[in-house]
């Protein structure tokens, strides 16, 4: 407040706005739930440290010039026998700092997770709106496709899309494309949830008076769907998006762990766990342990946050 002097009126208004947000049901329920507060805190810390990874990371794990093979297999917080360097979470076989690789790996995990959910959301919401508002054959085709896809577990669909995409891309581009292919695979495997929920909500909304009014004054179909119905069906979409985010991050980690995801040259958390697993038997536990615990914290806190959000936005469920 010392840097940017606000006029007393604006200050009072800002304070009032803040107070209203603070007193809302939503914020109250948030404050009352220690689990929500803690998991929100964890998510924020993890996301921020992933976003600012280049600033935080003590080493650049992808620059071979800064690596020193002598640092290989240094245990956490113990000085290396040859170089005397100390690493917070130890190093892997090539002397890469595990803490730094986790920060950069989490970046990829979060990027893939967010993008995949965004893709699934855009596809699902669009198709759900179209299916419910237009009806007829459009609806039949969209919803039958959803039913067929729902017969198969999402992770299997994602694997299949990944495999096909890998077959289509020429070998020399595969590593570069892997991240985008992952986003496509997870996004396409996950749109069904969004489409079903949006369709259900739209079917209810489209017969309400405000939609009829909009139709009477001659607004186009597209405008009615986007400007009138969409804002009213967004609450459940938000809840599903949060839960989908945790699922997408786990799906990405699983695919990468299985070796059909992010390549070792651009490792995500799953790839790091895959690499770390090889050293589990020889006693270098930290190469596996820290990426695994990070993934766990990320997935669990997003999951818990999603659970809380569902209850908070949907009091009828309780």
Partner 1 sequence: MLAYIIRRVFQSALVLLIVGLVAFAMFRFVGDPVDNMLGQERTQADVERLRQQLGLDQPFPVQYWRFLEQAVQGNFGLSYRQGRPVSDILIERLPATLELAFVSGLFALAFGIGLGVFTAIRRKGFAANAIMTLSLIGVSLPTFLIGILLIYVFSVELGWLPSFGRGEVTRIGGWTTGFLTESGIKALILPAFTLGLYQMTLIMRLVRTEMLEVLRQDYIRFARARGLRERAINFRHALKNTLVPVITITGLQLGSIIAFAIITETVFQWPGVGLLFINAIQFVDIPVMAAYLMMISVMFVGINLIVDLLYFAIDPRLRVDRSAGKAT
258 makes contact with partner 1 (CB under 8 A): yes
Give whichever of 12 and 258 is closer to partner 1, judged by the CB atom: 258
Q: For partner 1, which residue of 56, 134, 156, 226 counts as binding (CB under 8 A)?
A: 156
Give whichever of 154 and 312 is closer to partner 1, judged by the CB atom: 154
Using N-to-C axis directions, what is the helix angle for 269-277 and 98-134, rounded to 10°?
130
Measured between its terminal Cα atoms, the distance across the chain in Å is 41
Give me the least distance between CB of 116 and partner 1, in Å please. Answer: 16
141 makes contact with partner 1 (CB under 8 A): no
| SS3 (DSSP) at 97 | strand
Show the binding pattern over residues 218-257: x = contacts partner 1 (CB under 8 A), - = does not.
----------------------------x---x--xx--x
Q: d(Cα 86, Cα 84) in Å, to the nearest integer?
A: 7
Q: d(Cα 159, Cα 185) in Å, to the nearest integer?
A: 7
Q: d(Cα 123, Cα 189) in Å, to the nearest integer?
A: 11
Q: How many residues bind partner 1 (CB under 8 A)?
A: 34
Contacts of 77 (CB under 8 A, 6+ apart): 86, 87, 88, 90
Q: For partner 1, which residue of 299, 305, 309, 312 counts as binding (CB under 8 A)?
A: 299
Give me the least distance between CB of 266 and partner 1, in Å please. Answer: 17
User: 45: which 2 tokens?
Assistant: 């810390």
Q: d(Cα 50, Cα 288) in Å, to the nearest integer?
A: 19
Contacts of 248 (CB under 8 A, 6+ apart): 112, 113, 116, 117, 120, 186, 190
Show the binding pattern over residues 162-191: x = contacts partner 1 (CB under 8 A), - = does not.
xxx-xxx-----------------------
Q: Which residues pair with 91 in a beta bridge?
A: 97
Q: d(Cα 308, Cα 239) in Å, to the nearest integer?
A: 9
Give me the least distance between CB of 227 and partner 1, in Å please. Answer: 36
Give me the least distance between CB of 110 and partner 1, in Å please. Answer: 16
Q: Which stretch binds partner 1 (CB under 8 A): 75-83, 101-109, 192-200, 279-287?
A: 279-287
Q: Is 68 left (phi over 0), alpha (psi -120 to 50) or beta?
A: beta
Contact 298, 43 (CB under 8 A): yes
43 makes contact with partner 1 (CB under 8 A): no
Give me the least distance between CB of 23 and partner 1, in Å please. Answer: 31
Give me the least distance between CB of 158 and partner 1, in Å please. Answer: 11
Give whichever of 166 and 219 is closer to partner 1, judged by the CB atom: 166
Q: What is the largest CA-CA distance in the chain?
A: 80
192 makes contact with partner 1 (CB under 8 A): no
Q: d(Cα 136, Cα 132) in Å, to the nearest integer?
A: 9
155 makes contact with partner 1 (CB under 8 A): yes
Give whichever of 99 and 162 is closer to partner 1, judged by the CB atom: 162
146 makes contact with partner 1 (CB under 8 A): no
Give me the least distance between CB of 250 and partner 1, in Å please. Answer: 5
Q: Which residues bind partner 1 (CB under 8 A)?
A: 148, 151-153, 155-156, 159-160, 162-164, 166-168, 246, 250, 253-254, 257-260, 273, 277, 280-281, 285, 288, 292, 295-296, 299-300, 303
């Amino acid at each position: 407040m010392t840097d940017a002097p606000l006029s007393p009126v604006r200050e009072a208004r800002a304070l009032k706005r803040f107070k209203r947000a603070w007193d809302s049901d939503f914020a109250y329920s948030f404050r009352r739930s220690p689990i929500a507060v803690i998991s929100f805190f964890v998510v924020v810390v993890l996301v921020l440290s992933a976003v600012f990874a280049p600033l935080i990371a003590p080493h650049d794990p992808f620059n071979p010039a800064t690596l020193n093979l002598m640092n290989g297999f240094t245990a956490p917080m113990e000085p290396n026998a040859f170089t005397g360097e100390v690493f917070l979470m130890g190093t892997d076989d090539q002397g890469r700092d595990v803490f730094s690789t986790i920060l950069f790996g989490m970046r990829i995990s979060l990027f893939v997770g967010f993008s995949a959910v965004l893709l699934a959301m855009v596809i699902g919401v669009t198709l759900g709106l179209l299916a419910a508002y237009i009806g007829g054959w459009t609806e039949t085709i969209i919803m039958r496709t959803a039913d067929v896809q729902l017969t198969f577990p999402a992770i299997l669909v994602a694997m299949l899309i990944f495999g096909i995409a890998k077959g289509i891309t020429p070998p020399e581009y595969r590593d570069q494309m892997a991240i985008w292919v992952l986003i496509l695979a997870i996004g396409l495997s996950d749109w069904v949830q969004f489409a079903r929920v949006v369709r259900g909500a739209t079917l209810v909304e489209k017969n309400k008076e405000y939609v009829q009014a909009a139709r009477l004054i001659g607004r186009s179909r597209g405008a009615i769907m986007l400007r009138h119905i969409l804002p009213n069906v967004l609450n459940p979409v938000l809840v599903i998006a949060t839960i989908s985010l945790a699922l997408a991050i786990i799906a990405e980690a699983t695919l990468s762990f299985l070796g059909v995801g992010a390549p070792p040259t651009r490792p995500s958390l799953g790839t790091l766990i895959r690499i770390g697993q090889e050293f589990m038997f020889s006693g270098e536990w930290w190469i596996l342990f820290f990426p695994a615990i990070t993934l766990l914290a990320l997935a669990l806190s997003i999951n818990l946050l999603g659970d809380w959000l569902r209850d908070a936005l949907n009091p009828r469920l309780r």
